[in-house]
Amino acid sequence: MTDTTLRNIALLIDADNTSPQAIDPVLTVMAELGQVNIRRAYGNFAKDNLAKWDRITNKFGIRPQQQFDISKGKNATDMAMTIDAIDLLYQGKVDGFGIMTSDSDFTPLVTRLRQDGILVYGFGEKKTPEAFQAVCTRFLYIDELIASTRDEAPDPKPASKLAVDDLQELILAAYREAKRDDEGYALLQQVGQIAGNRSSFDVRNHGFKRLSDLFASLDNFKLERRDNQVYVKRLR
């Protein structure tokens, strides 16, 4: 058993601001970090719009954390999630977090967790404010994850020219910073690590399962396999 599989991971879910349909694929992604032993969903489950969570919590072993609406305009769910996350942090028994929400109010929380070297994966809708997406170690769009479990084929290109330009800029910057050999080839894994350090970049948000699939779709890069490792070279 490797160190990775022994890591203790917590998944905290803002049930008011995410979809229960994404739980299965989210747990699959979280397995990259370790064992998701702590699974909690927060919200006022007495509300009709959260009724679907009843079946989901039982199926996936998620502990519902009931939060009544104490006063109008005050979000008890956010406070409860934040307090629990900080408690888990100071107990020193959690190596990584998954935060399911599209609410930017959790940006300070994620920032605090990462200051202690904790990995934080965020999961939300594409409308999630950029500030929250950027502070996460990785941020993944739940609609892309749901589509992948249904064997649907999401568009493998970003939705807008701005997104295309941003992605190209990120990839080029990561490639330039990576160590290259005399022929101009860089280790693909290193390029991906640099891109991930610069932002919450994840290829699954662009319809690809692997980084190599993304680079294979770009006509200005070339891939080469050497001894079970993949290298990439910029052509122009």
Closest CA to 192 of 206, 208, 203: 203
C-alpha to C-alpha distance for 28 and 24, rounded to whole angstroms: 6
92 versus 156: the higher-pLDDT residue is: 92
CA 208, 211, 212, 216 torsion: positive or negative? positive
Is the pLDDT at 112 greater than 90? The verdict is: yes
Closest CA to 17 of 88, 91, 116, 99: 99
Residue written as token pair 């993304």: 214
44-102 pLDDT, tens digit per residue, is 888 887 888 888 888 888 998 888 766 554 577 888 999 999 999 999 889 999 999 99
C-alpha to C-alpha distance for 40 and 121, rounded to whole angstroms: 15
C-alpha to C-alpha distance for 155 and 42, rounded to whole angstroms: 32
> Mean pLDDT, the chain, as a whole number?
82
Q: Which two tokens stand for residue 212?
A: 């190599």
- Radius of gyration for the chain, computed over Cα atoms and rounded to the nearest angstrom: 19
Q: How many residues does the chain have?
A: 236
Per-residue DSSP letter, 232 = E
18-40 pLDDT, tens digit per residue, is 888 889 889 888 887 888 999 99
Q: Are 99 and 106 in contact (CB under 8 A)?
A: yes
Closest CA to 139 of 155, 158, 154, 119: 119
CATH number for the domain whose boundaries are 3-149: 3.40.50.1010
Q: Which two tokens stand for residue 191?
A: 């390029």
C-alpha to C-alpha distance for 51 and 59, rounded to whole angstroms: 14
C-alpha to C-alpha distance for 195 and 189, rounded to whole angstroms: 10
Buried b / exposed e over 164-181, threshold 16 CB at 10 Å, is eeebeebbeebbeebebe
CATH of 161-234, one of 3.90.226.10, 3.30.420.610, 3.40.50.300, 2.60.120.620: 3.30.420.610
164 versus 144: the higher-pLDDT residue is: 144
Q: Is 22 helix (H, G, I), strand (E, B) or coil?
A: helix
Q: Identical fold at 3-149 and 161-234?
A: no
174-232 pLDDT, tens digit per residue, is 888 888 898 888 888 888 877 776 666 777 777 787 888 888 888 888 888 888 888 98
Domain ranges across the chain: 3-149, 161-234
Confidence (pLDDT) at 1: 39
